[in-house]
Amino acid sequence: HEADAFRTDLMTITRFVLNEQSKHPESRGDFSILLSHIVLGCKFVCAAVNKAGLAKLIGLAGETNVQGEEQKKLDVLSNEVFVKALVSSGRTCILVSEEDEEAIIVEPSKRGKYCVVFDPLDGSSNIDCGVSIGTIFGIYMIKDAGEARLEDVLQPGKNMLAAGYCMYGSSCTLVLSTGSGVNGFTLDPSLGEFILTHPDIKIPKKGKIYSVNEGNAKNWDGPTAKFVEKCKFPTDGSPAKSLRYIGSMVADVHRTLLYGGVFLYPADKKSPNGKLRVLYEVFPMSFLMEQAGGQSFTGKERALDLVPKKIHERSPIFLGSYDDVEEIKALYAAEE
Ligand code: AHM
Ligand code: MG
């Protein structure tokens, strides 16, 4: 169709969030401002990641540049960009980043009511071979606007107001939920804008893919081992599942969200709490999964019910299509 050749009515992420906001007349636009700063961080990291392969030539990411100066590693650089963008938004009070040991308490003159937990560049071990990596974030609102305390971020994931990730892949895709469904936006590099490309994402009820680091199998617990065995040798007449594992959480979860199936990073004998971090990996991804109609489980409980005690705490995680996670839950329940 002629009319389809060029879309002339572009739903940018800013327009989308402002639309959402207009449904809440009491809102003063703080969230839109915060989000625009997160979006800026994502655009910056996207540009930096796209140039990563040129590092030796132009001096990026831990290489020495033409002036002979040591350059910052891409994950360190990304963290600095996000911290500065978030603080300068004037809408944040506590920041927790995978890259910083301690939580950052924003100075009083720049404070706002939001707490942001984030992993600025997850999967960064994949940078050098060009595999997709991403930024993950979750947003809480503080209880008492007057003072910011660490307890404000040590809340269960179900208290998050919003969560999302940006994947730096064959295209740059930002997936966001503000608590009423999940929407995906793709960066149009010529416009420098994220455009709504995946409205109202729903994960298939059951999937054909499982995604796990099977190299850890010898250390798995019973239910995890049984589940993966069933994926390969189903006993109920259903077809065997395909295995896909990128080893980059954002990319593995993104595929799971779009195609269905399960992504798991279970506990094992060596790491009884798994590998992934509760606040800025497990919670945001679990929030998105539930908002898309899927589920997320820790092996003990609904992931979003978990109450973290420390900011860098880890948890096992099983997330994805509703029916597939239901199967995992049944295997754990049978163990008890
Ligand atoms: P990182 O935060 O050090 O990048 O580690 C997190 C990454 C995730 O993106 C991915 O799901 C996981 O580590 C893969 O771990 P493994 O290599 O043990 O399979
Ligand atoms: Mg990480």
Residue 58: its pLDDT value, please?
Answer: 52
Find the 133 Cα to ligand 2 centroid distance in Å: 10
Of 90, 91, 142, 98, nearest to 117 by C-alpha is: 98
Query: How many whole angstroms from 98 Cα to the centroid of ligand 2?
Result: 7
Q: Which atom of ligand 1 is closest in space to residue 125's alpha carbon?
A: 4
pLDDT for the residue numbered 1: 53
Contact 96, 153 (CB under 8 A): yes
Ligand 1 in reach of 199 Cβ (< 6 A): no
The answer, yes or no, to whether any atom of ligand 1 lies below 6 A from the CB of 254, is: no
pLDDT, one tens digit for every residue, the chain (336 residues) = 555 666 788 999 999 999 988 887 777 889 999 999 999 999 999 998 888 777 655 545 555 545 555 556 888 999 999 999 999 999 999 999 999 999 999 999 999 999 999 999 999 888 888 899 999 999 999 977 678 888 899 999 999 999 999 999 999 999 999 999 999 999 999 999 999 999 999 999 999 999 999 999 999 999 999 999 999 999 989 999 999 999 999 999 999 999 999 999 999 999 999 999 999 999 999 999 999 999 999 999 999 999 999 999 999 999 999 999 999 999 999 987
Query: Which atom of ligand 1 is the closest one to the Cα of 251?
Result: 9
Q: Would you state the structure tokens that stand for residue 255, as one six-digit string?
A: 């595929």
pLDDT of residue 43: 97
111 lines ligand 1 (CB under 6 A): no
Which of 250, 276, 315 is the pocket-test mutation for ligand 1 (most atoms within 8 Å of CB)? 276
Residue nearest to atom 7 of ligand 1 (CA): 123
The pLDDT, as a whole number, for residue 124 is: 84
Show Cβ contacts of residue 296 under 8 Å, excluding neighbours closer than 6 positions. 282, 285, 286, 289, 290, 302, 303, 304, 317, 318, 319, 325
Task: Indicate if ligand 1 lies below 6 Å from the C-beta of 122.
Answer: yes
Rounded to whole angstroms, the Cα distance separating 124 from 136 reads 12
> Which amino acid belongs to residue 149?
R
Ligand nearest the Cα of residue 217 is 1
CA of 15 to the centre of ligand 2 (A): 30
ipTM above 0.85, yes or no: yes
